Amino acid sequence: MLNDNSSKNSLYPLTLTRCVIDIRMGILTLREKWRVMGFEPIIHEENGALPAHIIPAIQMKGDLENHNLESILYSAKKVENPVDIFKLNDELIKQDYLLVTDGRESRPVSPTNKTIFGHHIFIEAGAVVEHCILNAATGPIYIGKNAEIMEGSNIRGPFALCENSVVKMGTKIYGATTVGKNCVVGGEIKNSVISDYTNKAHDGYLGDSVIGQWCNIGAGSCNSNIKNTAGTVSVWNGFLNQPIYAGIKCGLIMGDYSRCSINTSFNTGTVVGVCCNIFGSGLTPKHLASFTWGYGESIYEFKKAMQNLDDWKKLKNESLADDEIQTLKHIFEQSKALKE
């Protein structure tokens, strides 16, 4: 049993709409990591044997079986804030790669590709990769079922492309980067985690960032990931109402269901809440609360927001569920109250 209370506030805005264990880090979500290890995680909001923000690792399996929880609490890595997601991604892609490929054989890499350390590349059934450069010298490359990397793309590991996702022509990706399920990505991406059903399909830079589910980054949009002064970057936590210090590099932290227009310029360490529709001139504000319209001049009207979200979901043959609407309504009311 896992206790979600100890971590969900510090992982704003990602945990406004989902449990900590449904955050993807490496190749798998935390929930999927537990399952691969043979344990079914159960969340309890008030108490639990372990905090939910523990990152499962095969090394703790013996302690779990022997109920040696103190050892796990002492030694386990934890995701303490959103910045940890991209900071730990290098290590976790390598860790998950061993878990998901153990005892299995990769599909053959097409001879049209140029590979470096090709024995560290794993391609699942149905994936298509042609006329690309795949460099696994700095970390493994995992390509999920029915995923596609289009011609002319340059990929440097560690890199994970999950099921049914597409990397468009001529894309440049640096490790450590994860692209979740049913995504479309393009342009230049470095050390970022992009969650399921999200698009960053065109040119523009995304670096040292975490993007939620069902987001869309407009063509030509970029983020700054380092200050001109090379000073420490802070990111705003809307639960705690205080900054969290991210280190020298941090780009964009974007909550689920948010979107930005073409050529949006995100300031260093920008935090975007849930269900925002972002557009405007110049650098964005450092914090855009949930249901922001534009750069924060007004609130995104709820009925319109839900209709727009449902239209976006139809583009991927999905629809907005009742439980999603209820969750978003609660977030909307909170955000509206703060603005008033």
Q: Which of 80, 105, 121 is the last residue of a domain?
A: 80
The tens digit of pLDDT for each residue in 205-215 reads 999 999 999 99
Averaged pLDDT, 86-115 = 97
Q: How many domains are there within the chain?
A: 3
Does residue 207 sit within a domain?
no
Over its C-alpha atoms, the chain yields an Rg (Å, rounded) of 20
Q: Looking at residue 194, which CATH number applies to its domain?
A: 2.160.10.10
Q: Which of 179, 201, 223 is the last residue of a domain?
A: 201
Same domain? 218 vs 319:
yes
Does residue 206 sit within a domain?
no
Same domain? 76 vs 104:
no
CA–CA dist 160, 21 (Å, integer)? 19
Residues contacting 173, CB < 8 A, separation 6+ = 153, 154, 155, 156, 159, 167, 185, 188, 189, 190
The domain containing residue 254 runs over which residues?
A: 214-340
Same domain? 113 vs 190:
yes
Does residue 209 sit within a domain?
no
Instruction: Tell me what pLDDT residue 340 has.
Output: 63
Model confidence, pTM: 0.95
Tokens representing 332? 């909307």
Same domain? 128 vs 53:
no
Residue 197's SS3 state is: coil
Q: Which of 176, 201, 226 is the last residue of a domain?
A: 201
Does residue 197 sit within a domain?
yes
In which band, very low, low, confident or very high, does the pLDDT at 99 lie, cut at 50, 70 and 90?
Answer: very high
The tens digit of pLDDT for each residue in 277-290 reads 999 999 999 999 99
Same domain? 50 vs 115:
no
Instruction: Tell me what pLDDT residue 283 has.
Output: 95
- Among residues 225, 153, 160, 231, the alpha carbon closest in space to that of 187 is found at 153
Does residue 208 sit within a domain?
no
* Residue 276 buriedness (CB in 10 A; 0-12 / 13-18 / 19+): buried
Instruction: Tell me what pLDDT residue 39 has.
Output: 86
What percent of the chain clears pLDDT 70, i.e. is strictly above it?
Answer: 97
